[in-house]
Amino acid sequence: SMEQNKSSQGGFVLLGFSDKPQLEIILFVVILVFYILNLVGNMTIILVSSIDPKLHTPMYFFLTNLSFVDLCLTTTVAPQLLFTMRSKDKTVSYTGCVAQLYVAMGLGSTECILLVVMAYDRYAAVCRPLHYAVIMHPRLCMSLAATAWLSGLITSLIQCSLTIQLPLCGHNQLDHIFCEVPVMIKLACVDTTFNEDELFVACVVFLVVPVSLILISYGYITQAILRIKSASGRRKAFGTCSSHLIVVIIFYGTITFMYLQPAKSKSKDQGKFVSLFYTVVTPLLNPLIYTLRNKDVKGALRKLVPGKDY
């Protein structure tokens, strides 16, 4: 298959939104702004969490991991997308495309598991407050984070290695915004049933199972919130939980749309917009949602930047 792939060694053409020049300009500006805010937001979380001893807690340890995943994930996709959007030449090198394939898949899968870990941490904090310190001890936190990173790495190695083996018979036009597994599978000129089945199994492990576990833990959290006596306390807790769940639904929902549809059926443009959500939009929403409602972070920011009111 490597022989047949020689023709795509010249690289791939990423069509992106080039068929709609007006839309492309608007999206360029939007993605650029999102990317800059994303860098600022996630770097702030990493910085604040490491500097302020009050934030040396399991929640901020996991949040730091999430921010790092989000920084890397968006950086894997956005700069290259912005670059091809502005240039006449839409080609991306074969090596660049393969690197993007592996890194994006690895980081995306890691985030799928990290969000479950964070939901479990919230469950322990809300539902088992007296045992929380015992349950979420530092060694467990390290193991859970390591599990998320390792599972992302392993699934990426399996999935992407199977994908780049596929003969493409000289097809090198990707009607997408970056090099991504389902799009590469569609480009192949052989029967891809095995790859699609393999991808389906990965989707069950990284999407269906995590979402179920998150919903279960938030079910318990909701029960605990309903027992809160004060109405304002209940409102605040519901606000926090519902905002977490909204991001979770957008993230897993858009990935499910992209990965759990039969390879041949997707409308081209839908896929491009949908993948923008989990590569550009939710990585910005995460820092906003998890920290803006948060007195500790605002306090830590005040120490960092005196004289500013947040």
CA distance 94 to 164: 10
Residue 13 forms beta bridges with which residues?
91, 173
Structure confidence at residue 10 as a pLDDT band (50, 70, 90): confident
Percent of the chain clearing pLDDT 90 (strictly above): 54
Tens-place pLDDT, residues 164-212:
999 988 888 888 999 999 989 888 889 988 998 999 999 999 999 999 9
Nearest to 97 by CA among 164, 16, 171, 166: 164
What global pTM score does this model have?
A: 0.90
The whole-number pLDDT of residue 148 equals: 97
Q: Three-state secondary structure along the chain?
A: CCCHHHHHHHCEEECCCCCCHHHHHHHHHHHHHHHHHHHHHHHHHHHHHHHCHHHCCHHHHHHHHHHHHHHHHHHHHHHHHHHHHHCCCCEECHHHHHHHHHHHHHHHHHHHHHHHHHHHHHHHHHHCCCCHHHHCCHHHHHHHHHHHHHHHHHHHHHHHHHHHCCCCCCCCEECCCCCCHHHHHHHCCCCCHHHHHHHHHHHHHHHHHHHHHHHHHHHHHHHHHHCCCCHHHHHHHHHHHHHHHHHHHHHHHHHHHHHCCCCCCCCHHHHHHHHHHHHHHHHHHHHHHHHHCCHHHHHHHHHHCCCCCC
Tens-place pLDDT, residues 77-96:
999 999 999 888 889 999 99
The whole-number pLDDT of residue 233 equals: 79
- Say if residues 260 and 200 touch (Cβ distance below 8 Å): yes
Tens-place pLDDT, residues 260-284:
876 556 566 788 889 999 999 999 9
The whole-number pLDDT of residue 268 equals: 62
Burial readout 171-184 (b: 16 or more C-beta within 10 A, e: otherwise): ebebbbbbbbbbbb
Domains along the sequence of the chain with CATH: 12-302 (1.20.1070.10)
Those residues with Cβ within 8 angstroms of residue 172's Cβ, 6 or more apart along the chain or in another chain: 7, 8, 10, 11, 12, 13, 187
Percent of the chain clearing pLDDT 70 (strictly above): 92
Residue for token pair 């969000």: 115
Q: Find the mean pLDDT for residues 67-83.
A: 96
Question: What's the gap between Cα 152 and its chain centre?
Answer: 11
Residue 12 forms beta bridges with which residues?
92
- Say if residues 95 and 298 touch (Cβ distance below 8 Å): no
- Say if residues 41 and 64 touch (Cβ distance below 8 Å): no
Among 99-108, 209-218, 296-305, which is the least confidently predicted range?
296-305
The whole-number pLDDT of residue 299 equals: 74
The whole-number pLDDT of residue 100 equals: 96
